Chain A
Amino acid sequence: MTDASAALSEETGSTRFRKDGRWAALLSRAGLSIAILAVIAYGSAVSPVFFTTGNLVNVMTSMAIIGIVVVGMTFVLVVGGLADLSVPATIACGAILSLALQPMIGPVPAFVAAIGLAGLCGLVSGVLVGYVGINPIIATLGIGTIVLGIVQASVGGVIVYGTNPETAMLVKSRLFGIPTIVLIFLAVALAGNFLLARSWWGRWTFATGGNPKAAEAAAVPVRAVKAGAFVITGLCSGLSGALLGLTLQSARPLVGTGYEFSAITAVVVGGVSIMGGAGSVPRAVAGLVFVQLLTNVMVLQGVRTPVQGLVLGLLIAGAVALDVALRRRGGA
């Protein structure tokens, strides 16, 4: 926000060309808010049920699970780690363990153990990326394949059912009319935002993502910061998977399929560059809100499920192409 106003005051009274650039810069910053407002306006116009508390709470509840992954994925993109493709495996890890371990060690330790193990998977990817220097795509692809294979072998593909219905009630309960799961997501997003925008860890993350050599020279532990981003994503996916398991009270090894691409989509639509060094949790969450609202409108309008992919694909390509074009014109 502060550098937005700085940019504004700096450009006041410039030539017409610069004014153009200013508008472009403004549009590139406010574009997402405008897009979200446009979807809300369109949704309210075409569907009487869209702009109702019930529907909007539904959208929030539906996005909570993937939203937690989005927060973690933001760190990976900002640190210049491209993407974490092991998300389906770590989600499965979280979902299956949080249910399967319940009878043995109780629901809370099972929950913690599930998240811990998912974080450990993230740590392995992180070490491979940060310390060994392997490309993140390959490292997370490989680790994801291995972890998913082990998870499948350990449960033999059978559905794992929950044994403690109270935990499900807790996750499904509401506080002041807001589902608990949404509150958990908001807490994770706030914590993520604090970590990325206000803490030394966040500064290190931006420095590493923006210019690793300069960061190294400035005594930033770039390797640990890079590895850390994958641990954060692992923990987030584990939490997301554990919550998923508790909500559904059942888990299968393939429960997390597709979540990695959904999370990347949200982050990228939010305008976080895949090249690293820029971005924020609120932007990524705004990207997710936009995608979720759009999907919601499409389902309400009866768009066929496979065709929804077309709209989403055009959206990603369009959003990023526009962003690139505006940034260039805006001189940013």
Chain B
Amino acid sequence: MANWKRRLLVGTLALLASASWAQAKTVCYVTAADAHAYATPANEALEARAKELGIEMITLSQNFDVQTGTEQLGTCIARSVDGIILWPLDPQAYIPGLARAQQAGIPAILINSPMDSQANQFIKSFTGPDVYEEGEMAADSLNGALGGEGSVIIIAGQAGNGTTIGRVGGFVDRLAEIGSKVEVLDTVNADFDQQKALVVSRDLITRFGDKIDGVYANDDTMARGFIDAWKEANPGKPTPPIVGINGQKDAFASIKSGEMHSTIVQSPVEDGRLAIETIAEILDGKEVEARRPIPLTVVTSENVDSVEPAF
């Protein structure tokens, strides 16, 4: 009888201990923004998966401001969480914060965007798509569509923004790497804004006219702006090959109608999920790879019917 009681007690204690152990796992997630077409579904997927894994989340939104983000890293460290997931908006500015996290013994991983190699010593892994790689894939796609030569324009996002730097850098570097004869006529910033892309495209079409053999837009929204400007200027004339990134619904429609050549789909849901699963493995004491990509799919008219749009 006493034995049975003792067993129950030990069992209960063990259960309590394991329960409190599970509860103690808190992960701090410094996200890019909480009201954004890509970030919102990624955040939701991440939080949903965290709930399944029994991890408590503290989600902090930088609202696209690097300075806010660097301060939020401090918040995470002060709350002595068990792990940090950082969505970097700048290749360097978070490095001191990550170093402090390491001093405090908090493992950190990056989601969605890479940082400079200096940061590698302070992070356990980098999961998700790589904006630089997306630029490279866009270069391959556009180079292929043009048969290796021609003049293109780049419609870039905000100047100085991490995503812009990666997507433009990857594109330009890749063209040089494969020895492409594709020449960049001009790179303009349209801040990921459709109207700005529309306005600047009108001017570019006026300026270069038929010299534009292809277009690379840093996201599908801006590609849409170029298409509208092209239709205004040259009604009835087919658009040059246009390559975008993100895989939005309306980009899929444009690819089907032949107005766009390709886009690159990355799933925000997979992006979010992979990050939380990776940090969960780290918290369980497992070793993880330094780089965990999510599949990036180049969508053209050939596979547009078999791929799901990202959002």
Asked if A159 meets B248 with Cβ closer than 8 Å, knowing A65-B195, A300-B206, the reply is yes
Q: Are A157 and B35 in touch, CB under 8 angstroms? A: yes
Given A159-B37, A159-B311, A302-B186, verify A250-B203 contact (CB < 8 Å): no
With A157-B34, A157-B39, A250-B221 known as contacts, the answer to whether A300 contacts B207 (CB < 8 A) is yes
B188–A161 CB distance below 8 A? no
* CB < 8 Å neighbour of A248 from B40, B224, B232, B249: B224
Q: Chain A interface mostly helix, strand, loop or mixed?
A: helix
Set of chain A residues within 8 Å of B188, measured between Cβ atoms: 299, 305
Determine how close the nearest CB of chain A comes to the CB of B244; give it in whole angstroms: 14
**A296 proximal to B (CB < 8 A):** yes
Does chain B have a CB within 8 A of A13?
no
Q: In the bound complex, how far is the Cα of B35 from the Cα of A156, in angstroms?
A: 5
- With A54-B233, A55-B206 already in contact, the answer to whether A250 and B194 are too (CB < 8 A) is yes
Bound-complex Cα distance A212 to B276 (A): 61
Q: Compute how far the CA of A248 lies from the CA of B224 in the bound complex, rounded to whole angstroms.
A: 8
What band does the interface of chain B fall in when counting residues whose beta carbon is under 8 Å from A?
35 or more
Contact A306 B189 (CB under 8 A): yes
Query: Do A49 and B189 have beta carbons less than 8 Å apart?
Result: no
Given contacts A158-B311, A159-B311, A244-B195, contact A58 B37 (CB under 8 A): no
> Is A161's CB under 8 angstroms from B249's CB?
yes
By a CB distance below 8 angstroms, the chain B residues around A172 are 232
Residue B104 interfacial (CB < 8 Å)? no
Residue A47 at the B interface, CB < 8 A?
yes
Cα–Cα, bound, A214→B30 (Å): 55
Residue B199 at the A interface, CB < 8 A? yes
A157 touches B200 (CB 8 A): no
A 227-267 binary contact with B (CB < 8 Å = 1; else 0): 00000000000000000100111101101010000000000
Q: Does A102 contact B (CB under 8 A)?
A: no
Q: A156-B35, A250-B250, A306-B189 are in contact. Are A58 and B202 (CB under 8 A)?
A: yes
Instruction: Find out whether the CB atom of B36 lies under 8 angstroms from the CB atom of A157.
Output: yes
The reply to whether A305 and B189 contact each other, CB–CB distance below 8 Å, is yes
Roughly how many angstroms separate A155 CA and B203 CA in the complex, as a whole number?
Answer: 32
* Given contacts A161-B250, A250-B224, A253-B35, A305 and B159 within 8 Å (CB-CB): yes
Known: A54-B233, A305-B188. A252 touches B202 (CB 8 A): no
Is B27 on the interface with A (CB-CB < 8 A)?
no
Q: Which residues of A contact B34 (CB under 8 A)?
A: 157
Q: How large is the interface on A (under 10, 10 to 19, 20 to 34, 35 or more residues)?
A: 20 to 34
Say whether B165 faces chain A, with CB atoms less than 8 Å apart: no
Would B203 and A299 count as touching, CB distance under 8 A?
yes
> B33: CB under 8 A from chain A?
yes
Give the CA-CA distance A159 to B36 in the complex, in Å. Answer: 8
Q: Flag whether A62 is at the interface (Cβ < 8 A).
A: yes
Cα–Cα, bound, A49→B34 (Å): 44
CA distance A93 to B207 in the complex (A): 34
In the complex, whether A152 has a CB less than 8 A from a CB of chain B is yes
Residues of B within 8 A of A253 (CB): 35
Residues of chain B in range 74-93 having any CB-CB distance to chain A below 8 Å: none
Q: Which of B26-74 contact A (CB under 8 A)?
A: 33-37, 39-40
User: Which residues 245-291 of B have a CB within 8 angstroms of A?
Assistant: 248-250
Q: State A218–B159 Cα separation when bound (angstroms).
A: 52
Residues of A within 8 A of B221 (CB): 159, 250
Docked complex Cα distance between A47 and B34 (Å): 44
Centre residue among B35, B37, B311 by max chain A CB count within 10 A: B35
Confirm or deny: A61 has a beta carbon within 8 angstroms of a beta carbon on chain B.
yes
- A-facing residues in B149-207 (Cβ within 8 Å): 159-160, 186, 188-189, 191, 193-195, 198-200, 202-204, 206-207
Chain B residues positioned under 8 Å from A158 (CB to CB) = 37, 40, 311
Closest chain-B Cβ to A99's Cβ sits at a distance in Å of 13
The 3 closest A-B pairs by CB, nearest first: A157-B35, A305-B189, A299-B203
B-binding residues in A (CB < 8 A): 47, 49, 52, 54-55, 58, 61-62, 65, 152-153, 155-159, 161, 172, 244, 247-250, 252-253, 255, 257, 296, 299-300, 302, 305-306
Q: Mind listing 25 A-B residue pairs with CB under 8 Å?
A: A49-B206, A54-B206, A55-B203, A58-B203, A58-B206, A62-B198, A62-B202, A65-B195, A152-B35, A155-B35, A157-B40, A158-B40, A158-B311, A161-B250, A248-B224, A248-B228, A252-B37, A296-B203, A299-B188, A299-B207, A302-B186, A302-B207, A305-B159, A305-B189, A306-B159
